[in-house]
Structure 1
Amino acid sequence: MAENGFQSACTYIYDPAILLRLTSSTFQAEYKNGVKPLNPGENLKLRPLCLEDYDKGYLQLLSQLTSVGDVTREQFEDRFNKMKACDDTYYITVIEDLTSKQVIGSATLVKEQKFIHGSTARARVEDVVVSDSCRGKQLGKV
């Protein structure tokens, strides 16, 4: 682990330092049972998607949301690298259960550059999913 709590050997889809810049005033939802956006629970870690998540059940988690199909490691790595190359566009954030080493939650924020609204950017949240074994713990809010 690096000093900031993120694995230095991981290839993240976006810079994990972005998460470290968030403050509690950023979040408007109400949370219960000690759950907080940057601290989702005991032995749970909020972080960017990384290449190694192929082996941590990421695609199986997505299959609880929709049809994924048969995605090989090579296809996963190719898509991951293409998304990562679109700097400042894809922010896929996951929750990892540090005990089981499995991804148990995920959400994607896609940032879109616009000509309208004064040539600004807009973003949308997509593909929010929490493992059926972890639902009811407010992790979807996180």
Structure 2
Amino acid sequence: MAIALAAGLAGLAGLSGGAGAARAADGKAVYAAVCQACHQDAGKGAAGVAPPLKSAVVKATTAKTRDYVPLVVLNGLSGPIESEGLSFQTVMPPQGHLSDEEIAAVTHYVTQTLNGAKGAKVDAKAVAALRAGKAPSAADLRAMRSRP
């Protein structure tokens, strides 16, 4: 009976989009709680305050640059950047207090849901490895923006 119930629930999850949909939903909740105040609804950004996250830079995330978004979430970003033709000179504080799962979920939401990026997924294990590694400088992170 328990096996049949588990199989039925797994089937229902598959109908609603499965783990990917759940991860996107969790990421949306993390985004709403942590990111939306500055980056606004649907990642549109706020002129002079926070760059849009629905952008060509994020959409161009590839396997080579897939770590950019989670590294910015973990370490923050300061200094001049350009996004969608607008210049920004603001400071994003690090969000290292978020769990690896939350960072993976919000990364998925920003890259996949808001931007439609394909194939550059980041999971909690990858975030844990980034967290354990040497933190990149703001200059390193800004350089990652220009390397699609």
Taking structure 1 as the reference length, what is the TM-score of the superposition?
Answer: 0.28
Between structures 1 and 2, the one with greater helix share: 2
Between structures 1 and 2, the one with greater strand share: 1
Which is greater in Rg? 2
Of the two structures, which has the highest relative contact order with CA contacts closer than 8 Å and spacing of 6 or more?
2
